[in-house]
Amino acid sequence: MNIRIRHANKNDLSAMLEIYNEVVLNSPATFDLVEQSLESREQWFKQFDEQYPIIVAEQAEEILGYSCLTKFRPKPAYASTVEDSIYIKSKARGHGVGSMLLEKLINEAKKNNHHSIIAVIANDERSSVQLHEKFGYEKTGLIKEAGYKFDRWHDIHFYQLILEYK
């Protein structure tokens, strides 16, 4: 696969929305319960910048997935801790796209002097856990029955990577 990893731009929003809404409808990977509109995602997109990037994986001008770093919590003491999110188009899963995106996110976090990256994973979802553990994330916490989706309660597991600088 000849995949290009790059920073997202507004022209990518429709493709990212399609990927996200597929996850909304079919997975507890997000606790959104209804599909998002393009207008709501345009507002969402405004939070990203050099410090908190959003990255896409693209092949032959098709967006296969995207990832981003967001503020972990709004209080100032959390400023060096970020949260990652990764969403992959269903047909592209299992082909290394997530690894490429996460590797780029980790490098972006280091470049921006972040200290720690948190991944919040619903139900200890195996593929997401394996991806994060591959890059050195460690399980650091659990919140039982944190969200209700698809007629059942879902736990969330916290995974963390402390960034080391050389």
Closest by CA position to 93, among listed 64, 119, 55, 61: 64
Burial class (CB in 10 A: 0-12, 13-18, 19+), 86: buried
Tell me, what amino acid is at 10?
K
- H or E segment at 20? helix 13-26
* Residues 158, 139 contacting (CB under 8 angstroms): yes
- For residue 124, the model assigns a pLDDT of 74
- Cβ pair 156, 143 in contact under 8 A: yes
Which CATH architecture fits 4-162?
3-Layer(aba) Sandwich (3.40)
Confidence (pTM): 0.94
* pLDDT tens column, 57-77: 999 999 999 999 999 999 999
Q: Where are the domains of the chain?
A: 4-162
Q: What's the pLDDT tens digit per position in 45-60?
A: 999 999 999 999 999 9
